[in-house]
Structure 1
């Protein structure tokens, strides 16, 4: 891995809350994968269940996001990757490879809000099939929102002649969930968007995402093209459970971009 130099005087001002738009529809491919249909079209009853579940999720969604830009560095002794200072080390080979060649990164956090979580929990008591559909719809929507942010950031950094890597979240590959502590501290997630974590470092509200995106300078800057689904499956390549993941077997994957 190439040595990453810390860029002195890098602007790390908080960009505060990011405005994101709730789409009129939720991507169905991700929903089908979550529910075990894979590439097969669900039956009529399932399609109706998904339709009504999507409408409920869209009606309750209250998304918020926050992101900040930080410098990246490597410790002199063990060449461990860190964000901003050596107190914020990113463990694992997968994230080091993902951010190779980057001297800056973006930390982002996105949440759907508590109402979606509450709806799913209530429905689990009375109608498990509907609860599964609601969960799948919420999971797909949070990915749609992350893709929306990805697109906005890509367009912004293109103007600076910089390219972005795909997003990489705690729990991918060998990056431990304890990395959530770095996001929580540097993004002030609880203060900014009400996003916390439990003792096992799982996010609360549950339908939330944190991710790091690398920033690279590009010599020959070209307008980015829309990536295909196969090109966006980078997380699967480094994931520890890629060979046994039932979600992946049904055609799904974590993180669309």
Structure 2
């Protein structure tokens, strides 16, 4: 808890390897490590806890009945709020005293950055670009091609090179779920991220309000699946018909 409150990222990362650590332990005020990191605005620590601590309870409440999401919203920690929502925190949960959600607490405490962040995430609640069924499209491309083909000069390549530097009419990821993921992981942003990004769960892209598995859980799942696939596929060293020949030889003897 002290490491999360102080922002000691290396200590939190090291403690994730301890099998006897209770990440949901609460202090005398009911605060957990996640609550302390979220309300302090330590985004890397919040991401570490969410991604590397299996069994982390996002809905654990303190003595006043506030969750980590509510406490981060009250302090206007917009990026921590985004990380919690992406990990599956319940945006509809209310505190038992005043009956307000995290968004209502943000409005009440004038946390306008958090209010805007939540509303932008709600507009694009899923990272459909990371699904294997997503087809990247550029709405302006057909019009540019038709316009270039209608003119003899300049050439199509020259016109495309001249127009590719223009901004999109509506940037598809700004402030959305994918924008948060890319900012947290790579500090880059691009609408064409799907061309170079693959996930361990291609059929279940990250979505707002959906509890995501931690990295250790995903690795165990991927290892088990790879083991099942290797056992199901025949070995390339096996000789077809060798077993039948041995049975025939044994029967003849």
TM-score for the superposition, normalised by structure 1 = 0.22
Name the structure with the higher strand share. 1
Name the structure with the higher helix share. 2
TM-score for the superposition, normalised by structure 2 = 0.22
Structure with bigger gyration radius: 2
Higher RCO, 1 or 2 (CA under 8 Å, sep at least 6)? Answer: 1
